Amino acid sequence: MAIEQLFEALPLHYVQHALTKYGAANLGLTLLVTLVVGILADYAWMLYIRSKMPPGPLPWPIVGNTFQLPDVKPWIYFEELSKKFNAPIITFWIGRNPTVWINDAWTASDLLEKRAGIYSSRPRMLVFAELGSGQNNLVNMITTTQAQRERWRVMRKVTHQGVGIQQVRKYRDFQNDESKIVAYDLLKTPEYYVEHFERYATSVVSIVGFGRRVSDAKDPIITEVIAFMHRAASLNVPGKTFPMLMETFPFLAKFPTEIAPWKGGLGRRGKSYRGHDFFYSLAEEAANNPGHEDCYSKFVFREAPKYNLNPQEISSLSGNLFGAGSDTSSSTLVTAVLAMRAFPDTLIPAWEELDRVVGSDRSPTFDDDENLPYMRALVKEVFRWRSVAIIGGQPHAPTQDDYYNGWLIPKQTWVQGNVWAIHHNEREFPDPDRFNPYRHMKDHPDWRPFPGEKGYMTFGWGRRVCSGQALAEQGTWLTVARLVWGFKISPALDAQGIPIPVDIFNYTDGLNMRPRPFKVDIKPRSEAIRQAMVHEGEQALADLAQYEGETKYRMSTFYKK
């Protein structure tokens, strides 16, 4: 029995009888003894379950291992625990709830891919899900019952209509044009490369979802939505401070949000929840726009009666496009620039290959992919070297008790893939912090076996793999190939002309991590290439003119009266 349920189970007449018979002092002692016995019984249960589960640090009563968490980047700590216990998976207790962290690629494949039928559900996520979009969002949906599984399949089917593997091939033309504009903008203001990447990534998903491109890097739809996504991503990182501390003490979530500052504004419903009504309104606005019949919002509203979609589901479906493609894609491109600056020798084979296959009169296209094996390997290494979704997205949960190597993984346990540890395992990736595209070329001595064909696990696993994977991979390959083809990334110089160093470990701390600001010098590789980028950029602007437009909504003012 949970500690918070202990006193609820005491009948009122028992308390009244004890108060009459023994007096207040004795009653207090009785209650204290009852509390201590309850805590000890609960702790005995924790230790019993712990003895059957994968190894891990000894939990304390009630709080588990919560306060052993580091202040930042817990995935590195879990990697160290895995090495300490010499186990591919470890158990770490968040309060009274055991969580299992997978720190090995082959184990992740065994559990989350090969046993996807068991591990396709979600655990209870109080902070990220229950106090947020709940079960209306495909990302959060628990699938332990037949009804839940059927609803999840409906939501996944509708999502794939927007960003599925086959569907995203239809987006290549405008994705290619938006990528050309990135190169064009870098010629003019290279110092704002982060803003250019954010504009590109947001514009692509905005065209997909709402039929409207984002032409200005200062457009609030970029700055506000990406800030919103950063906030959402932070709510999935285990922590010992509020609001994540509510996962350890869930009874604190029962307090009204208005009088509970530790909730950080979470838990407001309806119009007060930042996300639902805003994204629904964006989608509704696009659906009522007479142009661009193929945009995803029109499809969703057209199919809503068929699938009985409610407004919260429509909001989540449209909002997830930004989550799947804006912040993550732009962060990946920033990482690519950092890798190019820190490991310039890796660009020499890429330049030789691009000059041979593509030349200087045009930039790479999707059709060049099969003839650019090193370039393909370089992009794979970008995904591997510093994965954005560093813990593989939301946790999985088995729908039944499961055993792996003799260890128990109880039903509905929080199971998380530690992408950092997986991508930094010396067995598959010797000297893992070195950026080395040859790791992904099977005919090279640096190649090592890895589950699957991709060579990375950046986008998650099984039936819960990131819905935007195909769109992100497609756009990242093209844009990184165009960056490498078009530019030299050199050290920026300080006022004394001394090169400014970069730190390959200086990343943000959220679930979707990106490099903290760093300076580089970005210049075209040749005059012929510069002229080609100018010509292609101007043509791309003309091609994309059909998507110009503006929304009347701003997230920052949407809920203000």
In a domain, 59, yes or no: no
Instruction: Judge if 47 and 156 occupy the same domain.
Output: no
The separation between CA 21 and the C-alpha centre of its own chain, rounded to angstroms, equals 59
In a domain, 169, yes or no: yes
Q: How many domains does the chain have?
A: 2
CB 449 within 8 A of CB 427: no
Sign, CA torsion 424/430/433/436: negative
Tell the residue number behind the tokens 């964006």, with chain if given: 282
Task: Return the percentage of the chain with pLDDT > 90, whole number.
Answer: 76
Q: Which carries the bigger pLDDT value, residue 8 or residue 66?
A: 66
Instruction: Kindly report, residue by residue over 433-490, the tens digit of the pLDDT.
Output: 999 999 999 999 999 999 999 999 999 999 999 989 999 999 999 999 999 999 999 9
In a domain, 474, yes or no: yes
- Taking 60 as the threshold, does the pLDDT of residue 10 lie above it? no
Segment 521-548 shows an average pLDDT of 97
- For the whole model, what pTM was predicted? 0.92
CB 260 within 8 A of CB 243: no
Tell the residue number behind the tokens 């690629």, with chain if given: 105
Position 94 scores a pLDDT of 96
Position 272 scores a pLDDT of 42
Position 236 scores a pLDDT of 75
- Taking 60 as the threshold, does the pLDDT of residue 5 lie above it? no
Segment 120-147 shows an average pLDDT of 93
Closest CA to 165 of 500, 468, 498: 468
In a domain, 121, yes or no: no
In a domain, 252, yes or no: yes
Instruction: Kindly report, residue by residue over 390-409, the tens digit of the pLDDT.
Output: 998 899 999 999 999 999 99
Instruction: Judge if 46 and 162 occupy the same domain.
Output: no
CB 331 within 8 A of CB 390: no
Regarding beta strands 402-404 and 407-409, do their DSSP bridges make them parallel or antiparallel, or are they unpaired?
A: antiparallel
Position 227 scores a pLDDT of 80
What Rg value do the Cα atoms of the chain yield, rounded? Answer: 26
In a domain, 124, yes or no: no
Segment 214-224 shows an average pLDDT of 88
Inter-CA distances, 327 with 185, 228, 231, 314, 359, Å: 19, 10, 11, 21, 32
Instruction: Judge if 29 and 161 occupy the same domain.
Output: no
Instruction: Judge if 162 and 42 occupy the same domain.
Output: no
Instruction: Judge if 25 and 165 occupy the same domain.
Output: no
User: Which residues contact residue 203 at a Cβ distance below 8 angstroms, ignoring those fewer than 6 apart?
Assistant: 178, 213, 214, 215
Domain end, chosen from 26, 52, 78, is at 52
Q: How many CA atoms lie within 13 A of 48 on its CB side?
A: 6
In a domain, 87, yes or no: no
In a domain, 126, yes or no: no
Instruction: Judge if 153 and 28 occupy the same domain.
Output: no
Inter-CA distances, 511 with 223, 391, 481, 504, Å: 18, 7, 26, 17
Position 274 scores a pLDDT of 47
Instruction: Judge if 290 and 401 occupy the same domain.
Output: yes
| 390: CATH | 1.10.630.10
Least confident among 1-10, 109-118, 538-547: 1-10
Position 339 scores a pLDDT of 98
Q: Which structural domain, as residue segments, surrounds residue 265?
A: 149-547
Instruction: Kindly report, residue by residue over 236-288, the tens digit of the pLDDT.
Output: 788 899 999 999 999 999 999 888 999 988 886 544 444 558 899 999 999 99
Q: Which residues of 337-349 are buried (b: 16+ CB within 10 A; e: fewer)?
A: bbbbbbbeebbee
Q: Is 466 annotated as a binding residue?
A: yes
Position 269 scores a pLDDT of 53
Position 23 scores a pLDDT of 63
Least confident among 49-63, 90-104, 154-168: 154-168
Cα–Cα distance, 414 to 394 (Å, whole number) = 9
Position 233 scores a pLDDT of 74
Instruction: Judge if 427 and 318 occupy the same domain.
Output: yes
* Bridge partners, residue 521, by sequence: 490
- Taking 70 as the threshold, does the pLDDT of residue 138 lie above it? yes
Tokens representing 516? 């903290």
CB 482 within 8 A of CB 183: yes
* Bridge partners, residue 402, by sequence: 409
